[in-house]
């Protein structure tokens, strides 16, 4: 039994299995005219991806992202869409810690002094003993919480609904007005959907302390860009994602945000090994006649 896999070059896939025929396609140019069972999409999911792959006859579309808000619900009959859960959590969570520590130790100031060729000593609040509010307790949120464990912070977690889990209390989103004023840093890492669209709005930002850190590592549209600009002087904004993306050259956020990292959050080598693992598991499922892993659509 031959499994036909067509993959984006993003993943540098190399599969050592005589039963697998591997073709590379960039999802931009016309697709190679070969049979395809499993499609492996780029690590950023383009909004028109379903139209791109509609006529290829694939059984499974393996997305390269965890989020699938960009995927049209107008699926071809029989196509199953899987997301890239387990692929990006590691890289994205470490990126979040990198951004948080950059702000906590005020490396923007160190970098500016270094550029001027000046030795500038200063004291920072630091991260230890501060209160971090984590909004989002899915895969990436959990990976962030795990990495925060040794840093001696008070962690408050917020999910879509109040509950207890193995780490303790998860607060509901409607508790944010009381929680936001307590935080030295707020990390937002929720999926983008109709409930989280513009979650970070004027009211959200107004509830935050002066000089507090806001880190958006979720999706650009989870924040209202106008509100971000309004509060940029009072708060410290660290944005891996923005709306629109790419941010137009010279956009006001470039000069007012503390750090912009151009959606590089998940884009580290760690994702390659972990995506290969997902693809191998999809292939094994096909061979064994089992349902695909990580299915997100049809729901």
Q: Is 222 helix (H, G, I), strand (E, B) or coil?
A: helix
The smaller minimum CB distance to its own copies, of residues 83 and 130, is found at: 130
Q: Which of these segments, 31-39, 91-99, 189-197, 282-290, binds its own copies (CB under 8 A)?
A: 91-99
The smaller minimum CB distance to its own copies, of residues 2 and 124, is found at: 124
Q: Which of these segments, 60-68, 107-115, 171-179, 189-197, binds its own copies (CB under 8 A)?
A: 107-115
Alpha carbons 297 and 299: distance in angstroms, whole number: 5
Q: Which two tokens stand for residue 194?
A: 């109709």
In the complex, minimum distance from the CB of residue 107 to its own copies, in angstroms, rounded to a whole number: 6
Q: Which of these segments, 26-34, 54-62, 112-120, 175-183, binds its own copies (CB under 8 A)?
A: 112-120
Pick from 58, 54, 87, 91: nearest CA to 71: 54
247 forms part of the interface with its own copies (CB under 8 A): yes
* Cβ pair 183, 125 in contact under 8 A: no
The smaller minimum CB distance to its own copies, of residues 110 and 182, is found at: 110
Position among 98, 155, 227, 285 found at the interface with its own copies (CB under 8 A) = 98
101 forms part of the interface with its own copies (CB under 8 A): yes
Rounded to the nearest angstrom, the gap between the alpha carbon of residue 282 and the centroid of all alpha carbons in its chain is 22
Position among 72, 124, 154, 195 found at the interface with its own copies (CB under 8 A) = 124
250 forms part of the interface with its own copies (CB under 8 A): yes
The smaller minimum CB distance to its own copies, of residues 277 and 295, is found at: 277
107 forms part of the interface with its own copies (CB under 8 A): yes
Q: Which two tokens stand for residue 214?
A: 């806001």
Burial of 117 from C-beta contacts in 10 A (0-12 / 13-18 / 19+):
exposed
Q: Specify which residues 297 forms β-bridges with.
A: 81
Q: Which of these segments, 68-76, 127-135, 165-173, 229-237, binds its own copies (CB under 8 A)?
A: 127-135
Q: Tokens 């965890």 — which residue? A: 66
- Window 156 to 195, contacts with its own copies (CB under 8 A): none
Long-range pairs, 89-92, Cβ under 8 A, ≥24: 89/139, 89/140, 89/142, 89/143, 90/143, 90/270, 90/271, 90/274, 91/265, 91/266, 91/267, 91/268, 91/270, 91/271, 92/140, 92/143, 92/189, 92/217, 92/265, 92/266
150 forms part of the interface with its own copies (CB under 8 A): yes
Handedness of CA 47, 51, 56, 60 (dihedral sign): positive
Q: Is 267 helix (H, G, I), strand (E, B) or coil?
A: coil
Q: Which of these segments, 22-30, 86-94, 157-165, 174-182, binds its own copies (CB under 8 A)?
A: 86-94
- Window 254 to 283, contacts with its own copies (CB under 8 A): 254-255, 257, 259-264, 267-270, 273
The residues binding its own copies (CB under 8 A) are 90-91, 94-95, 97-98, 101-102, 104-105, 107-108, 110-111, 113-115, 117-129, 146-147, 149-152, 245-251, 254-255, 257, 259-264, 267-270, 273
């Amino acid at each position: 039994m031959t499994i036909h896999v067509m993959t984006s070059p993003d993943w540098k896939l190399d599969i050592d299995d005589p039963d697998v025929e591997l073709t590379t396609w960039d999802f931009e140019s016309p697709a190679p005219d070969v049979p395809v069972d499993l499609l492996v999409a780029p690590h950023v999911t383009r909004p028109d991806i379903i139209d791109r792959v509609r006529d290829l006859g694939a059984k499974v579309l393996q997305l390269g992202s965890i989020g699938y808000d960009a995927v049209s619900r107008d699926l071809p009959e029989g196509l199953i869409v899987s997301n890239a859960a387990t692929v990006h959590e590691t890289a994205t969570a470490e990126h979040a810690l990198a951004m948080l520590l950059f702000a906590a130790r005020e490396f923007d100031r160190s970098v500016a002094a270094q550029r001027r060729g000046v030795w500038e000593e200063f004291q920072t609040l630091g991260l230890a003993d501060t209160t971090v509010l984590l909004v989002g307790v899915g895969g990436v949120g959990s990976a962030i919480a795990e990495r925060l464990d040794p840093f001696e912070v008070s962690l408050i977690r917020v999910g879509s609904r109040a509950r207890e889990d193995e780490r303790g209390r998860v607060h509901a989103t409607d508790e944010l007005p009381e929680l936001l004023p307590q935080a030295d840093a707020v990390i937002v890492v929720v999926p983008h959907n109709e409930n989280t669209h513009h979650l970070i709005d004027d009211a959200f930002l107004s509830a935050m302390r002066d000089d507090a850190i806001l880190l958006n590592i979720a999706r650009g549209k989870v924040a209202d860009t106008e509100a971000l600009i309004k509060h940029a002087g009072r708060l410290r904004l660290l944005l891996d994602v923005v709306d629109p993306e790419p941010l137009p050259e010279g956009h006001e956020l470039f000069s007012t945000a503390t750090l912009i990292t151009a959606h590089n959050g998940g884009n580290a080598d760690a994702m390659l090994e972990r995506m290969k693992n997902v693809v191998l598991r999809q292939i094994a499922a096909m061979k064994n006649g089992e349902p695909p892993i990580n299915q997100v659509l049809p729901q």
